[in-house]
Amino acid sequence: MSSTTDTSSNPAGAASGRPRPGGAGRAGNAPGGAARGKPGGRDLVKALPWIAPALALILGVVLFPAGVMFFNSTRDISQSGVDKGSVGFDNYVEVFSFPYFWPIFLRTIVWVVVVVVFTVLISLGIAQILNKAFPGRRIVRLVVIIPWAASVVMTTMVVYYGLEPYFGVINKFLVDVGLIDTPEGYGWTRNPTTAFIWSIVIAIFVSLPFTTYTILAGLATVPSDTIEAAKMDGASPARTYFTVVLPQLRGALSVAVLINIINVFNSLPILKVMTGSIPGYDADTIMTMIFKYIQNQHKVDVASALSVVAFLIVIVIVAVYVKVVKPTREV
By CB atoms closer than 10 A (0-12, 13-18, 19+), residue 27 is exposed
Specify the range with the lowest mean pLDDT, choosing from 15-24, 80-89, 187-196: 15-24
What is the spatial distance between Cα 140 and Cα 243, in angstroms, rounded to a whole number? 28
Residue 35: pLDDT band (50, 70, 90) is very low
Contact (Cβ atoms closer than 8 angstroms) between residue 273 and residue 287: no
Q: What residues does 75 pair with on adjacent strands? A: 86
Give 210's contacts (C-beta < 8 A, 6+ positions apart). 148, 256, 259, 260
- Report the predicted TM-score, pTM, of the whole model to 2 decimal places: 0.79
What is the spatial distance between Cα 73 and Cα 133, in angstroms, rounded to a whole number? 55
- Does residue 277 carry a pLDDT above 90? no
The confidence score (pLDDT) of residue 272 equals: 92
- Does residue 185 carry a pLDDT above 60? yes
